[in-house]
Amino acid sequence: MPLQGKGYFIWRIWACENGDVNAIANLAEQAGFSHVLIKVADGTYSYNIYNNVDLVPPLIQVLHRKGIQCWGWHYLYGESPRQEADKAIQRISQLGLDGYALDVEAEFEQSSKSVAARKFMNRLRSAYPKLPVALCSFRFPSLHPLVPWSTFLQQCDYNMPQVYWEQAHNPAEQLTRCVQEFQALTPVRPVIPVGSAYRSGSWSANSAEVLEFLLAVQSLNLNAANFWEWVNTRKYLPDVWNTIRDYNWAAPNPIGDVSEQFIQALNSHDPDKVSVLYIPDAVHVNASRTVQGLAAIHSWYDTLLNSWLPNATFIHTGYTSSATARWFTWRALSNKGNVENGSDTLGLYNGKIAYHYTSFTIAPPG
């Protein structure tokens, strides 16, 4: 089953709700989590073994009873790739996991590790060719060029970048940059970002930032999001936990307003999905021309999405409204150019766009 909705990373089961698997499962159900990711391996060793007892199977059992998917995650070092793959295969077989996430960090920031990545992935995929697998690594590949991104992603189904805005307070901006950078890599995989829900020293994520992150995830048309990490959030940031718990993924704010539906449609990069938001004789205006009708509007978006801002990431940055109008702002990032000053006005008729004035400037990327 494809991942969709909210998920959470669990590091040490024995520290979560004092190791009470029923309490963990009940909280996950109350929070509406569609999936939970549990650490099951570290290098060549099994993980979450406490006093010689494997804590993972009973937790998976109660989560599965509640219809919550259980993914394993595995911290990789790349020193013994065949043995690490064998450990992954063993844990997947033992635990009946729904998917597997590969935690790839500083140990892979060397060119020689591309061989290790290939050996690991080939061995894992020879045993489990159809199991959903995700790469969980740094948020900005441009800052970590030696990580063998393509080698991993070629045999992964998802990309789970760690969009940790630690020491900053701009989650939407960082997520937008993250998605844009990964869109420029080959191959492109669906992004399921991991957001900050922890504290580190004097810094901590807060409820407003977590909400901004979730809104940005859905504005960017991403199907799911995860957070790091259960114990830290529950112990130190109860308000953050409550914000994540109370966020209604099934009926989120971003798709409730036509201006936000519009940005989601732009992120599909499909002129048909944008045009359907307009009435048949809608008027579209910018500083240099006025056009009317769906054919002309479709042509405009074909040019915008395929020529001016190909593969762009659009993000909704705010709106005000009346019963029949919207005024909203937006940004866009593309390899061909960026927009920082998008400002649009919509006139509505029966919930669809009848009049649209748009103003923006495309600046060179960088």
Residues 290 and 247 in one domain: no
Q: What's the whole-model pTM score?
A: 0.73
Write out the two tokens for 209. Answer: 């930032």
Q: For residue 365, what is the DSSP state?
A: P
Residue 256 pLDDT level (bands cut at 50, 70, 90): low
Count the neighbouring beta carbons within 10 Å of the beta carbon of residue 140: 14
Domain count, the chain: 2
**Residue 53, φ and ψ in degrees, nearest 5:** -115, 130
**pLDDT at residue 255, rounded to an integer:** 52
How do residues 79-107 score in pLDDT, each as one tens digit? Answer: 999 999 999 999 999 999 999 999 999 99
Write out the two tokens for 331. Answer: 């940004």
Q: Which whole number is the average pLDDT over 173-189?
A: 91
Give me the domain span that covers residue 174: 5-252
pLDDT exceeds 60 at position 251: no
Residues 60 and 42 in one domain: yes
Integer angstrom CA distances of residue 270 from 69, 130, 266, 277: 31, 29, 7, 12
Residue 351's SS3 state is: coil
Residues 151 and 289 in one domain: no
**pLDDT at residue 219, rounded to an integer:** 75
- Residue 350 to residue 206: CA distance in whole angstroms: 38
Nearest in space to 136 (alpha carbons), one of 270, 3, 285: 3
CA angle 199, 205, 210 (to 5 degrees): 140
Provide CB contacts within 8 A for 247, sequence distance 6+: 6, 211, 214
CATH number for the domain harbouring residue 348: 3.10.450.50
Upper half-sphere CA count for residue 242 (Cβ side, 13 Å): 6
CB-CB contact of 250 with 284 (8 Å): no
Residues 237 and 323 in one domain: no
**pLDDT at residue 215, rounded to an integer:** 83
Residues 196 and 283 in one domain: no
Q: For residue 37, what is the DSSP state?
A: E
Hunting for tokens 């798709």 — which residue is that? 255
Domain final residue, candidates 252, 274, 294: 252
CB-CB contact of 282 with 297 (8 Å): yes
Residues 266 and 227 in one domain: no
**pLDDT at residue 366, rounded to an integer:** 66
- Give percent of the chain above pLDDT 70: 98
Residue 221 pLDDT level (bands cut at 50, 70, 90): confident
Residues 104 and 245 in one domain: yes
Residues 120 and 228 in one domain: yes
List for the chain the helix, strand, coil content (%; round to 5).
40, 30, 30
How do residues 185-211 score in pLDDT, each as one tens digit? Answer: 999 999 999 999 999 999 999 998 998
Residues 154 and 12 in one domain: yes
Residues 197 and 117 in one domain: yes
Q: Which whole number is the average pLDDT over 216-236?
A: 92
pLDDT exceeds 70 at position 254: no
**pLDDT at residue 311, rounded to an integer:** 87
**Which residue would you say has higher pLDDT here, 243 or 257?**
243
CB-CB contact of 271 with 358 (8 Å): no
Q: Which helix (H) or strand (E) covers residue 199, if one does?
A: strand 199-200
Residues 77 and 215 in one domain: yes
How do residues 33-46 score in pLDDT, each as one tens digit? Answer: 999 999 999 999 99
**pLDDT at residue 172, rounded to an integer:** 87
CATH number for the domain harbouring residue 40: 3.20.20.80
How do residues 258-292 score in pLDDT, each as one tens digit? Answer: 998 999 899 989 999 999 999 998 999 999 999 99
Residue 88's SS3 state is: helix
Residues in the chain: 366
pLDDT exceeds 60 at position 227: yes
- Give percent of the chain above pLDDT 90: 82
Domain final residue, candidates 226, 252, 278: 252
Residues 288 and 307 in one domain: yes
Domain final residue, candidates 192, 222, 252: 252
**pLDDT at residue 252, rounded to an integer:** 44
**pLDDT at residue 350, rounded to an integer:** 85
How do residues 290-326 score in pLDDT, each as one tens digit? Answer: 999 999 999 999 999 999 999 899 998 888 988 888 9
